[in-house]
């Protein structure tokens, strides 16, 4: 295991001091290898030092402008800064350069969502769920985007799929409740709102949904 691999291990263990030592050594020994700069950028991101992290990712690209993971790192910086257009461009560049990873597709999809371009987000969120089938957050965001682009039946299938893995997923229940009301199935909607509140008692949207249904039933 070389210094870069060891450093990644220490980053995962949050031993940032040891990771810094190893990455400094890796860059000193191989200054023309962009990997050391990418890993140092990721280390700095974990340490919430976005300014210096950006410099390291850009240095990696300066050395080799085909370094896909450096663009992904820049995308993460810009996403955290809420510069979603710049994040989108960098995530797209990393994919174009061959980074086939569920996380980058998810982040690209979320960037489009933040830019209120939900239709453009759909294929990337779908690909994220294909690459990371156990990632319920990616699956939920895909379902939510389907619902918001009027693919109601498809969204319903996704939320129901989430409940197969986590029957107490409050947001999935809430959205199924909304879909049930959309389909004029009041009892089913009320049931999902109540199950959402059972899983998360402070779920304000579910509470409002339940209140609306009960008021309608009293009329």
Q: Average pLDDT of 15-34?
A: 92
**pLDDT of the residue at 217:** 80
Q: Which residue has the tokens 């109601």?
A: 152
Instruction: Tell me what percent of the residues of the chain surpass a pLDDT of 90.
Output: 90
Judged against a pLDDT cut of 70, whether residue 32 lies above it is answered with yes
Q: What is the pLDDT of residues 95-117, one digit of tens each?
A: 999 999 999 999 999 999 999 99
Predicted confidence band of residue 1 (pLDDT cuts 50, 70, 90): low
Q: d(Cα 102, Cα 163) in Å, to the nearest integer?
A: 21
CB atoms within 10 A of CB 117: 14
Q: Which residue has the tokens 């810009």?
A: 78
Judged against a pLDDT cut of 80, whether residue 181 lies above it is answered with yes
Q: What is the pLDDT of residues 118-166, one digit of tens each?
A: 999 999 999 999 999 999 999 999 999 999 999 999 999 999 999 999 9
Q: What is the pLDDT of residues 204-217, one digit of tens each?
A: 999 999 999 998 88
38 contact partners, CB below 8 Å, separation of at least 6:
56, 57, 60, 67, 69, 70, 73
Closest CA to 206 of 179, 175, 184: 175
Q: d(Cα 75, Cα 101) in Å, to the nearest integer?
A: 14
Q: What is the pLDDT of residues 38-51, one digit of tens each?
A: 999 999 999 999 99
What token pair was written down for 93? Answer: 């560049």
123 contact partners, CB below 8 Å, separation of at least 6:
109
Closest CA to 89 of 68, 106, 114, 108: 108
């Amino acid at each position: 295991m070389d210094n870069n691999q060891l450093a990644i291990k220490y980053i995962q263990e949050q031993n940032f001091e040891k990771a810094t030592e190893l990455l400094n050594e890796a860059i000193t020994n191989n200054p023309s290898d962009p990997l050391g700069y990418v890993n140092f950028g990721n280390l700095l991101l974990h340490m919430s030092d976005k300014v210096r992290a950006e410099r390291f990712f850009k240095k990696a690209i300066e050395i080799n402008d085909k370094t896909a993971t450096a663009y992904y790192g820049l995308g993460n910086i810009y996403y955290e800064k809420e510069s979603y257009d710049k994040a989108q461009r960098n995530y797209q560049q990393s994919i174009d350069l061959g980074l086939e990873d569920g996380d980058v597709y998810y982040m690209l999809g979320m960037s489009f969502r933040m830019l209120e371009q939900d239709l453009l987000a759909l294929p990337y969120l779908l690909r994220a769920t294909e690459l990371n089938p156990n990632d319920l957050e990616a699956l939920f965001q895909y379902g939510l985007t389907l619902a918001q682009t009027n693919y109601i039946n498809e969204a319903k299938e996704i939320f129901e799929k989430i409940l197969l893995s986590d029957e107490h997923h409050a947001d999935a229940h809430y959205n199924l409740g909304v879909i049930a009301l959309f389909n004029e199935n009041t009892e089913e909607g009320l049931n999902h709102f109540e199950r959402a509140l059972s899983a998360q008692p402070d779920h304000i949207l579910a509470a409002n949904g339940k209140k609306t249904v009960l008021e309608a039933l009293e009329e």
